[in-house]
Structure 1
Amino acid sequence: MAMAMQVTGIACFSSSGFSQRHQRRNFRRSAAPRAAASEGLASPSVDDNKLKLGGSELKVTKVGIGAWSWGDTSYWNNFQWDDKKMKDAKDAFNASIDCGITLFDTAEVYGSKLSFGAISSETLLGRFISERKKREPELEVAIATKFAALPWRLGRESVLCALKDSLSRLGVSSVELYQLHWPGLWGNEGYIDGLGDAVEQGLVKAVGVSNYSESRLRAAYKQLKQRGIPLASNQVNYSLIYRKPEENGVKATCDELGVTVIAYSPIAQGALTGKYTPMNPPSGPRGRIYTPDVLTKLQPLIKRIGEIGGKYEKTNTQVVLNWLICQGNVIPIPGAKTAEQAKEFGGSVGWSLSTDEVDELRSMASEISPVIGFPVEML
């Protein structure tokens, strides 16, 4: 989840400035290595703005919003939360809806006291949805939240118990997607059973995992398949400069099994937006990841991203999000802290980089050593 402050060329889903022919066209896929689709991955596009999440029946927007920063004071917001930041978060939510983005990803630990936060992100998201629905009763929002595989949580019952607590904070009777936030320390079979139980009890429409390796992904997929339940998604750290899912087999396995990749930190927590320079690195914990040395090495790539963006009248942020979409079977979920950022994210769809541009950006990014963001995947 990352900040994006460039607002030139902002465009919502409904007003991208491109013809309907271009809006309907499928995104080109890159030449990144991938496994053969033994499970028969269906074409993900179901309409102009939405796609099917894995093998589930859930349809979500091609870009979502990450709500990690909402209420958080341990990593984001300069360790402070106040009324202005609350208003900014609400404005970001409403701007997202206005732009046609209706998928929101949160977690029980975001903003919670467990993570030394100020107020639960789930509570805020539920409040924003409730207030918006008072004006628009027919509004449909896809909520994705996550179960924290804490060491003392054992068995399938812990998943259902945590889910019900999340539903209470969100103020809803069910959510669209429930995910295991990270692999369990003592094993995952019980947690996977809990996901299946949640589906069968009607508490969720689809289930997924997060930060799962290829082997764990296959095991979870197989266990759920035995109950006739699809594993809809695997949420991993994935961006132009952090392509571990391509390198460790996770992306190829997701494509093979028909599991959608949800990409968190898709703009490298702001490092790819062009906002930060060696003389102006990000503050807080991000400054220890994206150091002046790292930002110096990124400058040629960021310059080229800007040049390509100029061709399409798009910002750096919109280009790097579109780059992920062009991989096929990927939904980026950048974090929106302001309305301006949310509007900008809306302009990442409805158009497509060329195959040559996708490959060129990957080639340039491959010359830069990746940095590990937070949280570290593959726990």
Structure 2
Amino acid sequence: MGSFMTEQHGPSNKPTHILRQLGTSNLHISPIGLGCWQFSKGNGLVGKYWPALSNQTIVDIVQTSLQHGVNWFDTAEIYGKGESEKALARTLQQLNVPPSDAIIATKWWPVARTAGSIRDTIMQRLECLQPYPISIYQIHQPYALSSIRAQLEAMKDLITAGHIKYAGVSNFSAKQMEEAHQVLQQYGLSLISNQVKYSMIDRRIEKNGILDTAKRLDMAIIAYSPLEQGILTGKFHSQSKSDVGRELNRAKAQATSVAPSGIRRWLPGFRQARLIKTWPLIEELQRLALEYEVEPGQVALNWLIHYHGHYVFAIPGASRSSQAAANAKVLTFHLSDSEKEHLNQLSMQVTL
């Protein structure tokens, strides 16, 4: 039996307390985590992607997530040059979360750096997150100046020194994640996760070997952008639940009710032709949302974390507490096998 075959429930035995083992680690986390890029405070080029959130808004988001069963947080060095990490740690302290209860995943930025930077900068990461430990330390991109072997040997040194608990990667190909795993295996360790883009309309990891490799190595997939910048919420197709029965030809006449803004205007998924093509999937998400008394995006996330068993975790972000509550509500219901398969078929018709 693989490490993903058990789900634990909290004392209330409600789905909101579902915890899964992450890869071969001893970490048990909720299938939905909280992505914290939006905590960057508008700092740095990457941090400017999001508007700066107030300290109170961040507190509300984290508190709501914790109250609804989300028990881990994903951040990164590059998110506001450490501002996201600092904001998260500050907030957890304000909410009186003990360091022993905090599960934090962060990332080292490798571009134009060597493996030595992994060792040289770890104290900066720990300082930004103090007093909270780093449960999962991930290599953010496969573009360092050093080899994968050198990078993972540096990660091994951090684990041995007690600076981090586990090592993961992000945006690694199937071949790269296997190489990284093999390096750690030589030291009796395992690579526990690969964080990649994955959603119902971007299923490339199912075609390029990443998901198959993760399953074979008993490794977790952490899906970022699981709602495709909001496309899978349906708000760019139709705001009204009364439109669920609308015919496709009418959808072609009026594909959206909310115009994309900012960077979304330039993303392929928000073009009119693409929105029209994805309408049948959105329509079914809306129908199931009515049946389960949830929102279409919650159905999409539920499919993502359950369709492949226990291998896929997702890290949607939230810029207000209501979004955090909506993300966590994904843990409160289960689609049937037939519903998941029907969504799978619709998804395959529109996926990348």
Q: Counterpart of 1:88?
A: 57
Determine which of 12, 31, 39 is the counterpart of 1:70. 39
The 5 A counterparts of 1:254-269 are 254-269=214-229
Q: TM-score, normalised by structure 1?
A: 0.79
Partner SS state of residue 367, structure 1? helix
**Residue 232 of structure 2 is aligned to residue 238 of structure 1:** no
2:92 counterpart letter in structure 1? I
Q: Counterpart of 2:320?
A: 338
Shift of 1:197: 0.9
**Residue 73 of structure 2 is aligned to residue 104 of structure 1:** yes
Q: Counterpart of 2:126?
A: 167
2:314 counterpart letter in structure 1? P
Shift of 1:200: 0.8
Closer/same/farther in 2, CA of residues 224 and 344 from structure 1, 3 Å limit? same
Closer/same/farther in 2, CA of residues 249 and 124 from structure 1, 3 Å limit? same
Q: TM-score, normalised by structure 2?
A: 0.85
CA distance in 1 between counterparts of 2:47 and 2:274 reads 20
How many pairs align?
319
Q: Counterpart of 1:368?
A: 350
Q: Counterpart of 1:356?
A: 338
The 5 A counterparts of 1:38-49 are 41-48=2-9, 49=18
Closer/same/farther in 2, CA of residues 201 and 139 from structure 1, 3 Å limit? closer
Q: Alpha-carbon deviations, 1:12-45, whole Å to 9, x = none?
A: xxxxxxxxxxxxxxxxxxxxxxxxxxxx633343
Q: Counterpart of 2:263?
A: 285
Q: Counterpart of 2:179?
A: 219
> Identity over aligned residues, as a percent?
32
Partner SS state of residue 286, structure 2? helix
Q: Single out whichever of 325-334 and 70-79 deviates more from structure 2.
A: 70-79
2:101 counterpart letter in structure 1? E
Q: Alpha-carbon deviations, 1:214-243, whole Å to 9, x = none?
A: 100110011001101111101000011010
Partner SS state of residue 271, structure 1? helix
Shift of 1:292: 3.0
Shift of 1:108: 0.3
Contact 1:209–1:235 at 8 Å: present in 2 too?
yes
Contact 2:24–2:190 at 8 Å: present in 1 too?
yes
Determine which of 154, 174, 184 is the counterpart of 1:194. 154
Over the aligned positions, Cα root-mean-square deviation in angstroms equals: 2.0
Q: Single out whichever of 196-205 and 40-49 deviates more from structure 2.
A: 40-49
Determine which of 106, 111, 115 is the counterpart of 1:145. 106
Contact 1:44–1:53 at 8 Å: present in 2 too?
no
Shift of 1:369: 4.9
1:193 counterpart letter in structure 2? E
Shift of 1:149: 0.7
Contact 2:3–2:21 at 8 Å: present in 1 too?
no
Q: Counterpart of 1:123?
A: 86
Closer/same/farther in 2, CA of residues 60 and 301 from structure 1, 3 Å limit? same
Q: Counterpart of 1:178?
A: 137
Q: Counterpart of 1:31?
A: none
Closer/same/farther in 2, CA of residues 286 and 43 from structure 1, 3 Å limit? same
Q: Single out whichever of 227-236 and 65-74 deviates more from structure 2.
A: 65-74
Q: Which has the higher helix share?
A: 2
Partner SS state of residue 181, structure 2? helix
Shift of 1:139: 7.1
Shift of 1:137: 4.4
Q: Single out whichever of 157-166 and 300-309 deviates more from structure 2.
A: 157-166
Shift of 1:46: 4.2
2:339 counterpart letter in structure 1? E
More contact order relative to length (CA 8 Å, sep ≥ 6): 1
CA distance in 1 between counterparts of 2:266 and 2:79 reads 21
Q: Single out whichever of 40-49 and 330-339 deviates more from structure 2.
A: 40-49
Q: Counterpart of 2:251?
A: none
Contact 1:71–1:121 at 8 Å: present in 2 too?
yes
Contact 1:58–1:205 at 8 Å: present in 2 too?
no
Gaps of 5+ in 2: 10-17, 238-255
CA distance in 2 between counterparts of 1:82 and 1:66 reads 14
Q: Counterpart of 1:301?
A: 281
2:275 counterpart letter in structure 1? L
Q: Alpha-carbon deviations, 1:277-307, whole Å to 9, x = none?
A: 3342321112211233322222221111010
Partner SS state of residue 219, structure 1? helix
